Amino acid sequence: MATTQHISSIHGDFSLEETRALEDNSIFLHSATRGKRIVSGALLTPPASQGPGSSSSLSSAPGLSYASTSVHHKCFSSSSDYTLDLPESAVSVAALEFIGFNTETATEIFLRFASRPDPDQCPDDLLGYAGGHAQLLSINPYRDYPPTQAMTQIGLSQQFQDAITDPHFSTIFETETLLFWIKDTLRINYLTLVQLQRRLIDHANRIIAENAKRDNIEVVVQPAASLSSNQIPLTATLNMTSEDHNLPKDYVTVQNASPVLQDHYVLYKAKAAAEMGEPQWIQDDGSLLIYAITRYSGGDFNYASAALYLTPEAETAEAYRAWTARRCPYSDTWVIRIQIPITFIHSLRQQDLWYSKNWKEYVWYCRKEMKPPAKYKSYWYSGGADLIKGHICTGVRNLVTHIKKGEVQTMVSEENVLRIGSVKATQWVFMHYNTIERLEEEIRGNVHIEITAAEYVQKKYRTGR
């Protein structure tokens, strides 16, 4: 069984050679303490500009070599004169602290993980154990605790709790259950940690390869005594690639958003950058795996199968992006803008589901993951609606845990419609796999991503440290 003295270092993610390369280039600063390294803020810089490229609105004929997606970076600092604490390993107590647990609970979870009797028979990874610990909130009496009490009970840090309960995002918080947001935040923070470590490892191996190449040349042209390859730079620099940011190098251009095309609808989706790598949303050949941004069952309109939720309001997407950034301060965040031909939308079987008695009832069944009554069959069965347009529901925690079937019409009100500012927020929900698969081809070349720097970067820039 693992003990607390050595559990933090069971899995090391950096080889000795990689560690030395990062130290020599002032990326790793000082020695490790409690399983963490002080890392240069250069780690959070964007990839180098790829220069002018093809327009993102070219024809989507199969096999064409063109940039399928355009991207624009904003709120990134021109200076990386700051540091961050990063766990040395993604499988450690420090990693669990990084994603949101206090030290005591992180140690407890890691001991359970490290002490599992047969890893082959217990295939869950560390994130699975973290999510399993949070799952305590799904049982009595925890499910009825107020959010702060519930999060304290399962050992989440004060920083994590402050983000989840930030009153500025209270209505968006209420669009899902507390357990949903806890697990979502833990997951994104963990994916962010893995992404940052991969950036460091890839950069270290580029340094090692460059040093080896330079050393081979220098042995031929000059005496070894004159080598200066080990000099430490005054300012750390990471030559970020697009792949470091889950973007393929050959099918992305860096540019401002192009004008909206005629005869196209515009829809939006907010995501954390770290979520877009596994599976990779933009494939190496420029095609899109749009199923990577679907929502599993239990949303407003999909009781049993995954569905793609988009919004026609840029303001709604921006609000969700800001909420993600608040919860996951080390992750860049995306607002994805998708242009869809009107002819494609008109070819779909559609249903409208705005606030009404039917909206209340159908949302209640879907959120409970229960099969809706037969009168709603056209909304969800395989030959039914391809696309449902309707209002977004808030107050979900109370809806799922406290409101009974017979109380839906009296207990659910117009206050349960999400508002961004004074406007009722809406959603377009693509319901079936074959519809989503067709959409992939329709939007290729008509996608733009606004990438906003991690909240940690912006905070350092604002405070000047």
What integer pLDDT is reported at residue 5 of this predicted model? 32
Task: Calculate mean pLDDT across residues 197-215.
Answer: 88
**Residue with more model confidence, 12 or 84:** 84
What integer pLDDT is reported at residue 399 of this predicted model? 82
**Residue with more model confidence, 368 or 224:** 368
Contact predicate 344/435, CB 8 Å: no
Statement: residue 199 has pLDDT above 70: yes
Of all helices (H) and strands (E), which one includes residue 426? strand 426-430
Question: Please, what is the angle between helix 103-114 and helix 126-134, to 10°?
Answer: 120
Amino acid symbol at 243:
E
> pLDDT tier at 400 (50, 70, 90 boundaries)?
confident
What integer pLDDT is reported at residue 217 of this predicted model? 57
What integer pLDDT is reported at residue 383 of this predicted model? 84
What integer pLDDT is reported at residue 216 of this predicted model? 66
What integer pLDDT is reported at residue 285 of this predicted model? 85
Task: Calculate mean pLDDT across residues 148-173.
Answer: 97
Most confident segment among 67-76, 246-255, 301-310? 301-310
**Residue with more model confidence, 398 or 322:** 322
Task: Calculate mean pLDDT across residues 269-277.
Answer: 94
Half-sphere exposure for 97 (CA within 13 Å, toward CB):
16
**Residue with more model confidence, 461 or 148:** 148
> pLDDT tier at 234 (50, 70, 90 boundaries)?
very low
Statement: residue 225 has pLDDT above 70: no
Grouping H, G, I as helix, E, B as strand and the rest as coil, residue 454 is: coil
Statement: residue 21 has pLDDT above 80: yes
d(CA 63, CA 56): 15
> pLDDT tier at 48 (50, 70, 90 boundaries)?
low
**Residue with more model confidence, 343 or 14:** 343
In 3D, which of 311, 305, 275 has the Cα closest to residue 293? 275
Averaged confidence pLDDT in the chain: 86
What integer pLDDT is reported at residue 31 of this predicted model? 74
Q: Among all chains, which residue has been given the structure tokens 């969700």? A: 320
Of 2-11, 134-143, 186-195, the poorest mean pLDDT is in 2-11
d(CA 91, CA 285): 32
pLDDT digits (tens, 9 = 90+) for 333-370: 999 999 999 999 999 999 999 999 999 999 999 999 99
CA 330 to chain CA centroid, Å, is: 11
pLDDT digits (tens, 9 = 90+) for 59-97: 333 443 445 789 999 988 767 788 999 999 999 999 999
Q: Is 341 exposed, middle or buried (0-12, 13-18, 19+ CB in 10 A)?
A: middle
Statement: residue 379 has pLDDT above 60: yes
What integer pLDDT is reported at residue 459 of this predicted model? 84
**Residue with more model confidence, 215 or 37:** 37
pLDDT digits (tens, 9 = 90+) for 100-126: 999 999 999 999 999 988 777 776 899
> pLDDT tier at 144 (50, 70, 90 boundaries)?
confident
Q: Decide: pTM greater than 0.85.
A: yes
In 3D, which of 410, 402, 423 has the Cα closest to residue 357? 410
Please, what sign has the CA dihedral across residues 244, 39, 129, 334? negative
> pLDDT tier at 13 (50, 70, 90 boundaries)?
confident
